[in-house]
Every structure is written in C-alpha cells, then in structure tokens.
Structure 1
Amino acid sequence: DYYSVQLKTDRLAELQKHNGFRFHKVELADLAALKDALEPYSIRRVIHLAAQAGVRHSIEQPESYIGSNLVGHFNVLEYCRHLDSFEHLVYASSSSVYGKSASVPSKETDRVDAPMSLYAATKKCDELMSYSYAHLYRMPQTGLRFFTVYGPWGRPDMALWLFIDAILSGRPINVFNFGNMRRDFNYIDDLIPALITTAEKAPSADGNDAPHRIYNIGGDHTENLMDLIGVLERKVGKKAELNLLPMQAGDVVESGADVSAIRQDIGFEPRTGIEAGVSRFVDWYRTYHGIR
C-alpha cells in the first residue's frame, strides 16, 4: 500500500494479456513460499526488480526496507543458488548508492560508501551480498544502477507524476532546493530492451574473478528540474504554481550516469529525449485517468 493498489492491479491486468505470463503473489521475505511458488518451473535467468522503493519513505518508515530489500534479496540469492538450471541473476540496484557523489556523471568505479538514506544503504548491501554469492558459489550476476526511470505505468510518488497531478488539479507543486536540482531521466522504453539483453549476457564464471558486474543505466544527460517543469507546462498547456522549498533530507542536488560501460558491453543507447518522453507520459496519464 505504498501507493495505489488499483494502479498495481491495472498494471497486472495489462501483463496478463500476454501469453506465457504467470503471476504469483509471494512475500519475498518468506523463502519457503518463494520456493513453493516457483517449484513447477525450470528457471535459467532471473530478473529481480522487487523492492521497497523511495528515498524519502525510507526516512519515515525504515523498517519496511529491511524485509523487502535485504531479506528479500537474500532469499532470491538463496533460491537461485539451489537451482540446477540457473545461469544468471540480474537485479535492480539504484543511482542512490552514489550519495553525494564528488563527480557527475557517476562511474561504476566511484566510491559508494556514504549512502544518504536507508534506501540507498539497502541497495548497496544488495550489491555486496550479490558479489559475495558470485564469489563463493560462482553465480553469474549483474546489478543495474537505475537512474530516475519514468514513463507510462510509473510510480505516483515520482516527481513527474506528482507534478502533472498537481498542475492538472490546480494545486501548487513542491519544488525542493528552490528548483536547483538536476536529474538523469531514463525513459522506460529505452531501459527494457537493455534489461533483456543484459539478462542474456551473463558474466563469465570462469577464472579468478567473481562473475559479477555493475552497470549504470540512465539517459546519458542531466536535466534541470525547472526545465522538466517547463516541458510539462508546454505539453499540458497550463502554468504550474510553484512552492519553492529548501533541500530535503536524504536527497542530492545532482545525479547523472556515465553509461559508457553498458553501452560498450550491452549496446545500450538511450534514444528518448525529455520532450518526447514527457509527451508520451502525459498522453498516457490523460488516457489512464480519463482526462481530455
């Protein structure tokens, strides 16, 4: 119930239109239930995206992050470790592990030992757990540090959704750090093909190195928050009322991805600029909510 259950069930209804799709409602913190649900299947590749999301929510409700992000990730590792057919685990990390990074764009080789929130700390812990399992059990794994993902069917707690909801409703939007923030926006349709290709290319389990790798995945370009609001205003045809506020705890002024590694190894190429991506999101938002 972190956000609208109706949105989640509507997403599920879309997915169930596809042949071969199977859904099991399982608590990842319950390893026995996870094993029981997946027992009928011969699984070779796992894409693990389940987690309790949200930097700000982790400040107010930290306990919910332990079961989902730490115990849940551990149970996925344990499940995969005992699969005879296992080939590769791809899991979601986050750009938040970079914290108050000294350099932007951030590189996978940058230090990530100063998390600014518990959410960021859990994602860094996931990376460490995965590396240890890759080292000990030769389990090929890839962690993807996602930067600000947006698009249709996204999360209502994300800035783009909050902004359009407020603009269309005639409410002011909260703009933190007085609008002096930059983000690397990652359109969902650019991300998904890269995710699938990554799953098909497991790191080698041969040799002395652990078969584990980390990739940034972002839009390869940072945008000023005020510019994003301007794009929204033009698309919606309505000016936003701004409530300019100081910086929030746990947030960072700028985040941006160096995507050269995933571009070279996987062929990832972000193609959707902010104008096109926001336009598609607004069109979907209007359709989903029945707004003309």
Structure 2
Amino acid sequence: MTTSERQKPVFRFAPSPNGQLHLGHALSALLNRDMAEAEHGRLLLRIEDIDQTRCTPEFEAGILRDLDWLGIGWESPARRQSEHFPEYQAALHALIERGLVYPAFLTRGEVKMRVTAYEAAGRSWPRDPDGTPHYPASDRERPEDEWREMLAAGKKHAWRLDMRKALDLIGELLFWTETGDGRSGEIAAEPDVWGDVILSRSDAPSSYHLSVVVDDALQGVTHVVRGLDLFPATSVHRLLQVLLGLPQPLYHHHRLILDDAGRKLSKSQGDSGIGELRARGTSGADIRRLVGL
C-alpha cells in the first residue's frame, strides 16, 4: 500500500452471507460507496462469515452478484472473517491474560431458568438493548482455580467480558463521533447496559463485537457506515478499542428500511431480496429510488 493510499479515508461494507441481501443492505452498500467517492476514499468489502452454520458459499456468491449488479466496486480481495480466526483469538488471549474476561459455563436454558425464577418473585432482571437478559454473576465471581479446573476437565464454555472490571480499569468516560441520521456529535458510550458480553463461544472462535473492532483496525477503516440498529453496539466497540489499544473510526449510523408493518427488513424472512427484485425487472436506478437515495 502506498503512502497516498494510507492517507485516504477507508470505508467498508460488511455483510454476512447467511441470506439474500435486501433493500436495507442496498442502502448501506450504496451509502458507503457514495460517501467513499465524495471523500475520494477507498471502499472495502468484508464478508462477516463467523457463523459457519448459517453462512454459505451460495449466499456469498449471491452477495457478490447483487453488489456487481448495483454497480458497487470494492478493492480486491474481500476479507473473509473465517480466514482470520487466529487474529481474533490473539485479541481474546490478550484480554484473558489481563484478567478482563472469564469462562462462562451456564447454558442458555440455565440462564433462562434463573431469570424466570428471579422475575417470578416480582423483581426485574436487567436486559441489554436487544432484550437479552444480562448473564448472571456466578461465573464472574467463581474463584480462578475452580474455573481453571473446569476448563482442564473440558467443560463447555464461552468467554465473556467482565464489564465492571473493564470499566474500572479504563476509569474514564468513553465517547464516539457520530455523523448519522439519529443523534450526532460526540456520543457518550454506555457499554455497561450490555452486561458481560460474549467474546467467544465454543461454536464460534470470535463474537461479532470482537471481530469487528479487530477487522476495522487491521483494515485501517476510518469511517464505519452502518444501520441504526447497530448504534447501541458501538458502546461495546469503543470499550474494546480502548482495551485493545485500537484506533477509533468515525461512525455514521443511517436510517433503516422498514416494511409496511414498520419492522426492520430481515434476511431470515426474505424481505425485499435484491436478487428477487432484479428478477422482476427492477433496475439499479429503481433500487436507489426505493431506498430514498
């Protein structure tokens, strides 16, 4: 990479190949392309295929085909997260060595039972912005020699960030710079509302939160342009960036494309698939109009 390339703004479009691209993805891809061109910057493509059970080569091929049809070019090669698990594991182990993560042994069913019993007594269990109950404190408070014995015995586990310890360590308020369609300016991060987030599971060597901050840093991303549904997650990303000594990009969270019922479009429900729209005779110009560009 030349010096001039390093100095250019860097944008990225980062879909997961677990379904067809829909109009919401088209908006995000087109905005990234338009903003990169306006800034005389670079546009990267990242295939976020950590979830090997749901992501398929067929869906990835569909993504590439749809982007090409939309006239969106990117620098080759695209980055596939499945090819970079060692880099995510290195970041995780750096946090383990500092005592900032712990092994979590409770299954989802066990967590659900604890939460249900707690709330049956008329008390409220804390939940994250997605509505998922915070993980109980029992594993976080488990003595280290005990959990090391459980690991040595092969006990199935995930690795979770000790949110309280992480926030105590940095001892400062976190902010990010936002230029998107919701709030803008300096935004105060609130990672504690997420509780002890998962950074790695037995079936996935890295979580979205961990891999996205590592990728953005390694790829030199300067501008993160993505949907407003990921606005709350930025608080966790800012915390991980500080803990891992990674640079902070600018953030632009754009409006979402909603269906007639007012819900966010979903890959799982096949909403407004780009391939299907193309097959009906919809043009690229029509897509821009449909997403309000």
TM-score bracket relative to the smaller structure: under 0.3
TM-score scaled by length of structure 2: 0.26
Using CA pairs below 8 Å that are at least 6 residues apart, which structure has the higher relative contact order?
A: 2
